[in-house]
Structure formats: C-alpha cells, structure tokens
Amino acid sequence: MTLKEFFEQNPKAAIAFSGGVDSSYLLSEAVRLGADVKAYCVHSEFQPAFELGDARRAAEQAGAELEIIELSVLGDDAITSNPEDRCYHCKRRIMGAIKEAAFADGYELILDGTNASDDADDRPGMRALKEFNIKSPLRECGITKDEVRKGAKEAGLDVWDKPAYACLATRVPTGEEITEAKLRSAEKAESIMFDMGFRDFRVRWRGHSGLVQVTADQYEEALDREQEIQTALGRYYDYIEIDENTR
C-alpha cells in the first residue's frame, strides 16, 4: 500500500502530532494528497519549549490546522512513579486527550507517525496505540526512517534532519520519581549544551550527578570541553560525566 492509497481509503483523519520528522512528513503528505486532516499536539511537562515551537512551524509548513492540547501528567502516580511501562501510561493519557478533542471536531480516525523502522517490541507506548485503534500509515506502507527523512527534505520541511528526540521523562532513571524540578533541570542543561553547539545528545540524571551522552562524532569535542561543560551545567548537577551514547 502507498500513502496515496491509504488516504484514498481514509480521506478524513486526525493526526497525533509532535513536530518531529515522522509526524510532520505524514501531515505534509496527507495535505498534499488532499485528505481532510487536522493535527493535534499534546503539550505536557515532558516536552521542552522548543518542541512546541517546532510543532507550530512544521504544521504551518505542511499547510495544516494545528490544535495544542495542554495536559498535565505530573498528577498521575502511574506516570511519575516511573515504572518500566511508564510510556504506556503516558501514551494512554496523551491519546485519550487527542481522541476526545478529535472526536469533538468530527474526526473518528486517529493516525500517528510510527514508521516501519520503529521496533514495536521495544516501545511500551505501542500497546496504547493498539488499545485506542490508532493507525500508523508510515508503518503500514513500509516507509522507513531514511525514506521519511528523504521525503521530508524533498517536501521542504525544516525538520527533515531533526534528530530523534525522546521526552524529558527519559532523563530520569526507571523507578526514580519524576518531578518538575528534575524535568526543568534537564531541559535547561540540554538548552545550554545546544547553545554550546552540540547536537543529538541527552543529559540524564544519575543520582545527584548528570550524564551527558553525545554521539560518536561529538565525543572528542565533548571531552576537550569537559571543564566548560562542568562549569556550565554545575548549577543543576553535582558532577557531570560524559558518555559516547545518546540512547
């Protein structure tokens, strides 16, 4: 099946939208193919401010209507206790909010940007997608991540080379309570790293210390600038360790 065939069979749908390359490409293609679609982006404490800005720009480039849904997840113990299946509980809250808003607007079908390269067995949130009957056109049509990036670039989407971004909750070790303070510290630390010129990295909590994980091509630079990084992030963590890994 191609995306053209998919949207011929499903001409009206809501799209769970993050502003990342996958959902942006899906939204852009849906609009290009003449489907009646609307994007819904849930903004919670787990998303940094720049993600919301990216979502607004990507929807505008795609020529689609975007609705921002404000949702607090920190009051849910099933999420903040940070169990191994936290992503499942969080995804249920997010998809529930999108489903409610989309149904109110007359959209009975909800799509997401899961692509054919995503490993369903390694994503607890996939269970929530199944429970809410969320369709994943990119996955159904066999479109891989590389193909998504290529298509997004050809479509002129700024996010075509945007690194994959996991929510801020992943910065806190499984089983450790997720708090507003930990989330904001991680967000501010990563903003500083970005301003220093680094790209595709994570700053994770390890006790009272921070673990800066960078890709292999940035590792030597990070080591050379270790003292600078220690000083810059010292207001948020007692100590900073640098690691060659972002996942």
Sheet holding 66-70, edge to edge: 66-70, 36-43, 12-16, 110-111
User: For residue 118, what are the CA distances in angstroms to 54, 115, 164?
Assistant: 22, 6, 12
Mean pLDDT (whole number) for 6-35: 97
Taking a C-beta distance cutoff of 8 angstroms, is the pair 27, 58 a contact?
yes
Task: Provide the β-strand partners of residue 242.
Answer: 212
Summarised one tens digit per residue, pLDDT across range 35-85 is 999 999 999 999 998 899 999 999 999 999 999 999 999 999 999 999 999
DSSP-derived pairing of the beta strands 110-111 and 12-16 = parallel
| Per-residue pLDDT at 130 exceeds 90 | no
Dihedral pair phi/psi, residue 148, rounded to 5° = -65, -45
| Per-residue pLDDT at 123 exceeds 80 | no
pLDDT grade for 139, boundaries at 50, 70 and 90: very high
Given 3.40.309.10, 3.40.50.1370, 3.40.140.10, 3.40.50.620, which CATH number is that of 3-161? Answer: 3.40.50.620
**Stretch(es) of the chain classified as CATH 3.40.50.620:** 3-161
pLDDT of residue 247: 59
pLDDT grade for 164, boundaries at 50, 70 and 90: confident
| Per-residue pLDDT at 120 exceeds 70 | no
Taking a C-beta distance cutoff of 8 angstroms, is the pair 116, 137 a contact?
no
* Joined tokens for residue 100: 């409610």
pLDDT of residue 246: 63
CA nearest 138: which of 150, 156, 154?
150
pLDDT of residue 122: 53
3-class DSSP state for residue 28? helix
**Stretch(es) of the chain classified as CATH 3.30.70:** 179-244
Mean pLDDT (whole number) for 101-121: 90
User: Cβ neighbours of residue 43 under 8 Å, at least 6 residues apart?
Assistant: 51, 52, 68, 69, 70, 71
Fold classification of 179-244 (topology level): Alpha-Beta Plaits (3.30.70)
pLDDT of residue 125: 72
pTM of the prediction? 0.90
Least confident of 160-169, 195-204, 211-220: 160-169
pLDDT grade for 245, boundaries at 50, 70 and 90: confident
